[in-house]
Structure 1
């Protein structure tokens, strides 16, 4: 009887977990975004002072709780030699966040080209599931020489079309201050749950 009760309790208390990739070129603000997510949703977690953040070599991983679900974020390095590894994570992810530097138009176009190159050339994975939500965050919206969100949408729409993405959006953020981060996470969480019939979560 005890084991039956324990098994039922375990089933009742399991929570849905969704994995989200954070992609972008180096210096776009990916790790700063992850740190701000930690500050918003898990303030007791160990944090890196924003002024001490260095380029990611490999990956940074952190899990937060949003409502009754778990979101596991994977911040992947954006240097040229690391981008070819992005495709290895595509099969297992439930959503993708692209972070771009709004103040650098050339690099926004570069990230679009790089992502398309990874998708077209990699044979080491089954491909990116087109049902998953894809979010582009236009970072550094506080800078005077930034591109407007509408301009970035024109670039992103080409990428979304290439990916055959069914659910995609561009949102403005300022990762340095955390502005727009909660809105981005809430957009993701809602769509991840809506899409679970196509991309089932893991349970923990």
Structure 2
């Protein structure tokens, strides 16, 4: 796997990451969603540099301009519900992309510290020969990302796969690095060292879905 940790170089991205982590700024859910969206835009821009481009001519009112445009058929897939703001950021840049949505959540059994990933809803176009961008803001254990990818396999074999996350734990990064193809790319805005005993990233930012859309009842 090709791992692109964008935080290794200082940029305006640091500002958005700091705000989504800040427990006081987090109280503004609209700002939280917008910051996740902006981080998605930055990651999407960096990822776009690796795509295939073709030469085209554009007619302006005053002449002809020769340029290069992406020639890739893109499918954006996000994991509900936390992935929606990140998905919007990607869609801002790939506005002609096809879209897929999947629900994948942690189902805790008797022991609250153990869980399985449950997939209940999936809507997806054909992935055959296309570029799949799989987005999940928090890469904790990596199990949700893998479960989602496995659920998408009946829809065809993508030409290339890009994973996009906002914050990950090193354990989650190592997990996807081990379980995805060598040609897969991971684009991530920050990598934290640890997971706690419940599988949440430390220091992380908390529950991205709750911060974006409000707390949910557990079942």
Of Structure 1 and Structure 2, the greater strand share is in: 2
Instruction: Give the TM bin, normalised by the shorter chain.
Output: 0.3 to 0.5
TM-score, reference length from structure 2: 0.40
Of Structure 1 and Structure 2, the greater helix share is in: 1
TM-score, reference length from structure 1: 0.42
